[in-house]
Amino acid sequence: MALKTIDSLNLAGKRVFIRVDFNVPLDDQGKVTDDARIRAALPTIQFALKNKAKVILASHLGRPKGKPEDRKKLTLEPAAERLSELLKQDVILADDCVGDGVKKLVRDLKDGQVLLLENLRFHPEEEKNDEEFAKELASIADVWVNDAFGTAHRAHASTAGMAKFVKEKAAGFLIQKEVEYLGKALGSPARPFVAIVGGAKVSDKIKVLENLIAKADAVLIGGAMAYTFLEAQGVPVGKSLVEKDKLELARQILERAKARGVDLLLPTDHVCGAEPKETAERVVVNDRAIPPNLMGLDIGPKTLDRYRQRILDAKTVFWNGPMGLFEQKPWAEGTFGVAQAMAKSPAVTVVGGGDSAAAVEEAGLVDKMKHVSTGGGASLEFIEGRVLPGIQVLED
Ligand code: ADP
Ligand code: MG
């Protein structure tokens, strides 16, 4: 079903409540260290401003536990400051997200002005999707716009609950883009469709793998999960991370891929170390098997070449999960190599998953991808084929 988006509504003079994802990383001084999520919300905010809405923004930040010091540490003030710089206009920050003070600020808000409500999760009712709280949020809005893709997999008061208490609702441009790319990559991909799956654990990615095997022409496996697959095939993997209780599952996935005629590729060489440390010696093992004293920490150069060729020949590439312990330099080549191959590929390239997106960012290749999802957990749930509550309520 096509999503109704913000550009189909008449916003002039209306109180437009936009649920954004300003859950940004902060340093010790409380400065925003990565404003990507704020920038990702700009098209929707700017559209509403241009159309003379009274813009009310709301987000959560971190996981406040109700302690007084959390109020100071997890205030949206740094986000308000950064947003104001990006919009080149004042952003009014409320000291709460509900209550009389907020109602007054909203009454005084003029068309084309921006009000940012304080951290929604300062109220436990937000995550409980409390109906009264949702009603209270909705009481200051004529229109509800959800653009917080990163929390669309959660049914909270601001991401789902308030939908039924507003007159009009729509998706923002970020959610629209996410649904378009993640949906298209899996729904009707141009072929060959190559999926690359890595990361730490098979158990985190079972549904993702199952869904991708049902749709992709080839699935390239890397990261620590590769060793569980290799061990399941009887290949020695030394000290590598293996999920012993997932060997049977790995065998089933291999079987299913074979039955469906999907090429499931596993590493044929490895970059290993005696321990997962930056200072450990980097050893290239030119064999499927890993010696007993070593641990696989990245895909090897031969494997990278083979994966690179598949990526370059593809028409659609979806990537989730780093190929190795890329946070440490000796084991980063496979992950960055895959990112570079995607950047060069003529394919529609889509990246999902928090750590994978961070790797693409670190490689400086975000602009070379067709789409890098802003939602870690949400993009994975989407790829698993689940219905995200924050999107479902937009469709009802
Ligand atoms: P995403 O967030 O993109 O879904 P995951 O959370 O599944 O990705 O996995 C990312 C983590 O997996 C990274 O922190 C990375 O260091 C780790 N990892 C990948 N390969 C290995 C490996 N061979 N050994 C140890 N850790 C690994
Ligand atoms: Mg992760």
Asked which of 124, 139, 174 is the last residue of a domain, the reply is 174
Same domain, 126 and 191: no
Same domain, 153 and 190: no
C-alpha 354 – ligand 2 centre gap (Å)? 5
Domain assignment present for 128: yes
Q: Say which CATH number the domain at 170 has.
A: 3.40.50.1260
Residue 354 Cα to chain centre, angstroms: 5
Determine how many CB atoms are found less than 10 A away from the CB of residue 46.
14
Domain assignment present for 392: no
Residue 226 belongs to domain spanning: 181-383
Residue 123 Cα to chain centre, angstroms: 24
Domain assignment present for 356: yes
Same domain, 341 and 219: yes
For residue range 212-269, what is the model confidence (pLDDT) as tens digits?
999 999 999 999 999 999 999 999 999 999 999 999 999 999 999 999 999 999 999 9
Model confidence at 1: pLDDT above 80: no
Asked which of 174, 196, 224 is the last residue of a domain, the reply is 174
Same domain, 324 and 213: yes
Alpha helices, DSSP H, located in the chain: 36-50, 68-73, 77-87, 100-108, 125-128, 131-138, 173-187, 206-215, 225-232, 247-260, 301-313, 333-344, 354-362, 376-383, 389-395
Domain assignment present for 84: yes
Domain assignment present for 388: no
For residue 324, say whether it is annotated as part of any ligand binding site.
no
Domain assignment present for 391: no
Same domain, 81 and 228: no
Q: Is the shortest distance between the CB of 273 and ligand 1 below 6 Å? A: no
Same domain, 145 and 271: no
Model confidence at 185: pLDDT above 80: no
Question: What are the structure tokens assigned to 348, written together?
Answer: 């529609």
Same domain, 18 and 153: yes
Domain assignment present for 394: no
C-alpha 37 – ligand 2 centre gap (Å)? 17
Model confidence at 6: pLDDT above 80: yes
Q: What is the pLDDT of residue 68?
A: 80
Same domain, 105 and 62: yes
State which amino acid sits at residue 26.
Answer: L
For residue range 197-217, what is the model confidence (pLDDT) as tens digits?
999 999 989 889 999 999 999
Q: 3-class SS at 349? A: strand
Q: Higher-confidence residue: 92 or 67?
A: 92
Q: What is the pLDDT of residue 369?
A: 97
pTM of the model: 0.90
Same domain, 280 and 367: yes
Same domain, 270 and 371: yes
Model confidence at 26: pLDDT above 70: yes
Asked which of 174, 192, 209 is the last residue of a domain, the reply is 174
Tell me what the mean pLDDT of segment 167-183 comes to: 95
Number of folded domains that form the chain: 2
Same domain, 237 and 378: yes
Same domain, 208 and 127: no
For residue range 146-156, what is the model confidence (pLDDT) as tens digits?
999 999 999 99
Nearest ligand, measured from the Cα of 359: 1
Q: Is the shortest distance between the CB of 324 and ligand 1 below 6 Å? A: yes
C-alpha 178 – ligand 1 centre gap (Å)? 23
Measure the CA–CA gap between 325 and 323, rounded to whole angstroms: 7
Q: What is the pLDDT of residue 150?
A: 93
Domain assignment present for 279: yes
Does the N-terminal peptide bond of residue 236 adopt cis geometry, omega within 30 degrees of 0? no
Q: Is the shortest distance between the CB of 199 and ligand 1 below 6 Å? A: yes
Averaged pLDDT score across all residues of the chain: 96
